[in-house]
Chains A and B, each alone.
Chain A
């Protein structure tokens, strides 16, 4: 069924992503970078990060439009999913980059979808795996009518242990908000 195994590539796109990669490697510098104030969103807000965060731009929350998310650096993950056949190519921002950007600290994320579906996601997952806040699937921007605007994607081809069904709940689609706890 979903047994096809392929290499998952996390391709860095552009120099800013390299910068972000460096940030992840150098904790001191990363902190300085993360503490930069976040400009208010210009376009439609597609993601709200709330809870225990240091950087905000809308009250106690950090709001991101598509541009702001993409500016954090795009990565690519090729993986199968439990809901589709064949390998899908996802593009989006690594979840840990977003959380680093807002100075999040906590052990758990509570992901809320547009349809008010709520699922907990352990923060450790994001450090251990390249969990993607995917916005593009197979080269096409995902719309609300097809799991968009954001789908939490785990690289389950690269890490067979992620194929356990317990991870299916964490693949939250139509993601609206991440609350850091």
Chain B
């Protein structure tokens, strides 16, 4: 399982694609900007203007010549018109305008223009307004110059249109390229996001699975610890009884043998129940607990719990029975586990010699079983967390325990559609009360003191 999405192969592929597309996008954009700026300093479009201005000035010079012949225009006026025309032609002869003239294939016309201008300058020096022939000759030359400039302006316009079309094409292509790169970038980005999200989800799932495994493993260890601890007491009782019987041998009276055997049987019964409840608890963890309601004699169940405690502690336990039906329906094994848990907690967390009171009664439709001790108590702020698995109160520090018992008790009560009530004062003691609905039995018959043993399958 890969927990680092940034090194996953899918991520790398998508990321590389993103980078490449981004580079493409930037390069296309740069090309677009460049194509925009390419002709920004260009005066190609001015060529139409420059040529038409030349043409206009040529026509004005020809016009001035006519005016000169009529006497409307003096020599200076004529000279001014010629000078302006000269300046117009001069512009076409240098720099970028000249290169554009060459590009348009009209550079050779410039010699012709110069010839006309030279001729005009010479003629103007001693031109008689009445010399109609020379004036007509000059005007013809100037008109041909104007005609040629008109052709130049025409060609420049066509060239400009051509170039504009090319430019538009180029721009359209680049824009299309940018658009497709953008779309591709977006798609790749989406894939990338998908990959990241999926990897994250996989990672979260894996982490959750791992955490679950950890919990289960912790639970199992806790169970083993609890169970092995609880097996020890009945085993010790059996061992002690067996030793005693071996030592006394034939000297032992029948009553004593019977009592000892009864103790051994009780211990065996307890072991059986322990095994069953262990298995039940394990199944409870897996969420497949077999909850079975059986007729239950609460009084003998409480007696049994009391007797299953270590012998030195049994005297500390006082059982008070209130108004209680003889039989009721419950999962005997689980209920016994619950009371057992509460009682052993009460013993464990209270000073030696102090009394533990088990009180059971029926109040209306509810059965109440409370276990009260005079022990260390539970800090008020921790009561809310008490039934969380593995939670142990501050006051429980230094006393062996797993933090699993009360959680188990709470789950048992949930199965009985009941709940656990806690009252506690730190340093004074605690009362845990099991409350669950009273379910009357149909049949009173029961072969065993307080429970029908179930095969532990």
* A165-B87 contact, Cβ under 8 Å, with A84-B94, A85-B94: no
Q: Render A146-163 as a binary contact track against B, CB cut-off 8 A, 1 for contact.
A: 111000000000000001
Which residues of A are found within 8 Å of B84, using beta-carbon distances? 114-115, 144-145, 174
- Contact segment of B38-46, B122-130, B239-247, B389-397: B38-46
**Chain B: interface residue total (CB-CB under 8 A):** 19
Q: Render B76-95 as a binary contact track against A, CB cut-off 8 A, 1 for contact.
A: 00001011101100110011
Residue of B nearest to A142 (CB): B87
Do B41 and A165 touch (CB < 8 A)?
Answer: yes
Q: Cα distance A174–B40 when bound, in Å?
A: 25
A-B contact number at CB 8 A: 56
Do A2 and B87 touch (CB < 8 A)?
Answer: no
* A145-B87 contact, Cβ under 8 Å, with A83-B97, A85-B95: yes
Do B83 and A143 touch (CB < 8 A)?
Answer: yes
Q: Tell yes or no: B57 within 8 A of A by CB.
A: yes
Do B87 and A144 touch (CB < 8 A)?
Answer: yes
Q: Cα distance A1–B99 when bound, in Å?
A: 11
By secondary structure, the B interface counts as: helix
Q: Render B102-145 as a binary contact track against A, CB cut-off 8 A, 1 for contact.
A: 00000000000000000000000000000000000000000000
Residue of B nearest to A165 (CB): B40
Q: Tell yes or no: B96 within 8 A of A by CB.
A: yes
Which residues of B are found within 8 Å of A163, using beta-carbon distances? 41
Do A1 and B96 touch (CB < 8 A)?
Answer: yes
Do B43 and A82 touch (CB < 8 A)?
Answer: yes
Which residues of B are found within 8 Å of A164, using beta-carbon distances? 40
Q: Cα distance A150–B86 when bound, in Å?
A: 16
What's the nearest-Cβ distance from chain A to residue B392, in Å?
78
Do A83 and B83 touch (CB < 8 A)?
Answer: no
Do A147 and B87 touch (CB < 8 A)?
Answer: yes
Q: Cα distance A2–B40 when bound, in Å?
A: 12
What's the nearest-Cβ distance from chain B to residue A83, in Å?
5
Q: Render A80-112 as a binary contact track against B, CB cut-off 8 A, 1 for contact.
A: 011111000000000000000000000000000
Q: Cα distance A31–B95 when bound, in Å?
A: 43
Which residues of A are found within 8 Å of B97, using beta-carbon distances? 83
What's the nearest-Cβ distance from chain B to residue A53, in Å?
26
Q: Tell yes or no: A64 within 8 A of B by CB.
A: no
Which residues 164-181 of A have a CB within 8 angstroms of B?
164-165, 168, 173-174
What's the nearest-Cβ distance from chain A to residue B306, in Å?
101
Q: Cα distance A168–B95 when bound, in Å?
A: 15
What's the nearest-Cβ distance from chain B to residue A119, in Å?
12
What's the nearest-Cβ distance from chain B to residue A140, in Å?
13
Do B87 and A168 touch (CB < 8 A)?
Answer: no
Q: Render B381-404 as a binary contact track against A, CB cut-off 8 A, 1 for contact.
A: 000000000000000000000000
Q: Cα distance A143–B86 when bound, in Å?
A: 10
* A84-B83 contact, Cβ under 8 Å, with A145-B90, A163-B41: no
The answer, among B43, B82, B90, B95, for a CB contact under 8 Å with A146, is: B90
Which residues 28-78 of B have a CB within 8 angstroms of A?
40-43, 46, 53, 57
What's the nearest-Cβ distance from chain B to residue A159, in Å?
14
Which residues of B are found within 8 Å of A173, using beta-carbon distances? 87
Do A83 and B87 touch (CB < 8 A)?
Answer: no
Q: Cα distance A117–B60 when bound, in Å?
A: 14
Q: Cα distance A117–B43 when bound, in Å?
A: 18
What's the nearest-Cβ distance from chain A to residue B140, in Å?
22
Do B43 and A83 touch (CB < 8 A)?
Answer: yes
What's the nearest-Cβ distance from chain A to residue B206, in Å?
60
Which residues of B are found within 8 Å of A174, using beta-carbon distances? 84, 87
The answer, among B46, B53, B57, B95, for a CB contact under 8 Å with A84, is: B95
Do B43 and A165 touch (CB < 8 A)?
Answer: yes
Do A83 and B91 touch (CB < 8 A)?
Answer: yes
Which residues of B are found within 8 Å of A2, using beta-carbon distances? 41
Which residues of A are found within 8 Å of B41, using beta-carbon distances? 1-2, 82, 163, 165
Q: Cα distance A159–B368 when bound, in Å?
A: 97
* A146-B96 contact, Cβ under 8 Å, with A1-B41, A114-B80, A115-B57: no
> 4 closest Cβ contacts across the A-B interface?
A144-B83, A145-B86, A145-B83, A84-B95
A-B contact pairs, 27 of them (CB 8 A): A1-B41, A1-B42, A82-B41, A82-B43, A82-B46, A82-B95, A82-B96, A83-B91, A83-B95, A83-B96, A84-B94, A84-B95, A114-B84, A115-B84, A144-B80, A144-B83, A145-B83, A145-B84, A145-B90, A146-B87, A147-B87, A147-B90, A164-B40, A165-B42, A168-B43, A173-B87, A174-B87
Residues of A at the B interface (CB closer than 8 Å) are 1-2, 81-85, 114-115, 117, 143-148, 163-165, 168, 173-174
Additional A-B contacts beyond A85-B96, A174-B84 (9; CB < 8 A):
A114-B80, A115-B53, A115-B57, A144-B84, A145-B86, A165-B41, A165-B43, A168-B43, A174-B87
